[in-house]
Chains A and B, each alone.
Chain A
Amino acid sequence: MKKFIQLMVNGEAHEVAASAQRTLLEVLREDLGLTGAKEACGLGTCGACTVLVNGKATLACLMLAHTAVGKEITTVEGLAKGQELHPLQQAFLDHGSVQCGFCSPGMIMSAKSLLDEKPAATDEEIRAALAGNLCRCTGYVKIVAAVSAVAEKSR
């Protein structure tokens, strides 16, 4: 049974028709066209679907869309201010942290969740925060370096 629900995404209210069985990830991608968050494992073990819910890194594939009602959701599409990239996005470009790009939105959202709470996070804290995000291409070194470079500005 579909029901109209209101979701707050990237500061905007959206009304979508969704049955209780749909996940937040499905609704973001299919109803709202926000395809940054990706479905890879679909079971909570890879982090490709990471978005922020009330500011905290959360797996959208494991959250029912109905549970997300009343919460603030931020996706990678909500980071840039017009043409101005978020420092994390710029750092990923500058450091060669993106190969196929499939893990990148999830990586950036996990990193943002960390740096919002700990702007001067250490490399160890960065690795721990990103431990739930898998990458098959880069070997992680450049990803950590990019996040570290952003954190360095606050260290």
Chain B
Amino acid sequence: MRIEPFTYLRPATWQEAYAALAEHAGRTCILAGGTDLVPRLKQQITRPAYVIDMTDVEKYSYVHSDASGLCIGAGTTLQAIAASEDIKKGAPALVEAASKVASQQIRNVGTVGGNLCQETRCWYYNQSLSWKRAKPPCYKAGGEICHVVNKPSQCYAAFQGDTAPALLALDAQVRIVSTHGVRIIPLELLYSGKSESPLALAPDEMVAEVRIPAPAAGSGASYMKFSHRRAVDFPLAAVAVWLQQDGSNGRIADARLALSGVGSAPLRVPAAEEVLIGREMDGAAIAEAAEAAVKAARPVNNLHHGNPALRRQMVGILSRLAIEEAGKKARG
């Protein structure tokens, strides 16, 4: 596998980094841990003219905790997150999710920013360029038709990140930077919903930080992942749930449920959340919420051993398990 030539930039500061991004916008890739980008470079799926290596940039990797919550630099490795005492206290579901990504080697360099911004995946798209030359390019690669679903003008590649659903359930925000300023948005708005270009970022913008509000009293969260192997695999289906229990009457005061692996983006499921809010946490409520989650899942047959019916079923099972686990943690 041969990486095509590019110009390698290694900025020393944040200013240099986003200035370079602005100068070469649209023809550049950010290199953080490289565990998502480098495979695509090797398969010649992604062929940037410039690569900006963030390895020297200070204040890219950090965990700050204060009364309002956590601020985590986008360059913080998944291993640093998994081992962080502050995050174990302030957002344990993120520790759960980060610990389940891939393998120890990948977590040692892979970053939370990269995990959130990862490219969508499909058994057809994630093959080498030479392999794909047997057919005209698929829709995601600039052609006209998806070769997996065999329909034109839409890409069905799946978002398979682990940390995104946990962070959605935790009501996280991301801080996006560029030469013309900073914007802080709910994590949900980072995603375009379009598999062919999954991020709602201008070409000169990059994610700099993830922010998680301080945990509310009586709340708990859980991240459940389904994949065939216990490691290395991306989630074929994943559910994250956050619940807040009302101490006085035992009912669910507030709830958030998010999915991954079963659509073009990680997604919140308001229908499932509305089932739970105000209810007692009994079998009926949990089953109804799980069913709402299943209805929101849109898996297609584009992942290795990723039978869509199985993945839908697993969304239901994982939703139930995640709600029960989040409830346990909320009750302390």
Contact = CB atoms under 8 A, between A and B. Distances in A.
Interface of A: 1, 19-23, 42-45, 47, 50, 53, 56-59, 61-64, 66-67, 70, 110, 113-114, 128-129, 131-133
B310 interface: no
A8 B113 CA distance: 28
A147 to B, nearest CB: 13
Given A42-B42, A67-B53, A128 B104 contact: yes
Nearest to A42: B1
Nearest to A55: B108
Interface in B12-35: 31, 34-35
Contacts of A110: 104-105
Contacts of B106: 44, 59, 132
Contacts of B108: 53, 56-58, 113
Contact of B38 (A1, A23, A66, A128): A23
B34 A129 contact: no
A69 B306 CA distance: 39
B2 interface: yes
B231 to A, nearest CB: 3
Nearest to A41: B39
A20 B2 CA distance: 12
Interface of B: 1-8, 10, 31, 34-35, 38-39, 41-43, 51, 53, 55-56, 79, 102-106, 108-109, 230-232
Given A21-B3, A44-B35, A131-B231, A64 B8 contact: yes
Contact of A47 (B43, B79, B103): B103
Contacts of B231: 128, 131-132
A59 B105 contact: yes
B293 to A, nearest CB: 28
Given A20-B7, A23-B38, A62-B39, 15 more contacts: A21-B2, A21-B6, A43-B42, A44-B35, A53-B108, A53-B109, A58-B109, A62-B38, A64-B34, A66-B8, A67-B55, A128-B231, A131-B104, A131-B230, A131-B232
Nearest to B1: A42
B53 A66 contact: yes
Given A19-B5, A43-B39, A131 B34 contact: no
Choose among A20, A56, A62 the residue with the greatest number of B CB atoms under 10 Å from its CB.
A62
Contacts of A63: 34, 38, 109
B115 to A, nearest CB: 14
6 contacts: A21-B4, A22-B3, A57-B104, A57-B105, A59-B109, A66-B8
B75 to A, nearest CB: 13
A117 B3 CA distance: 34
Contact of B34 (A19, A62, A70, A113): A62
A128 B8 CA distance: 34
Contacts of A53: 108-109
B148 to A, nearest CB: 20
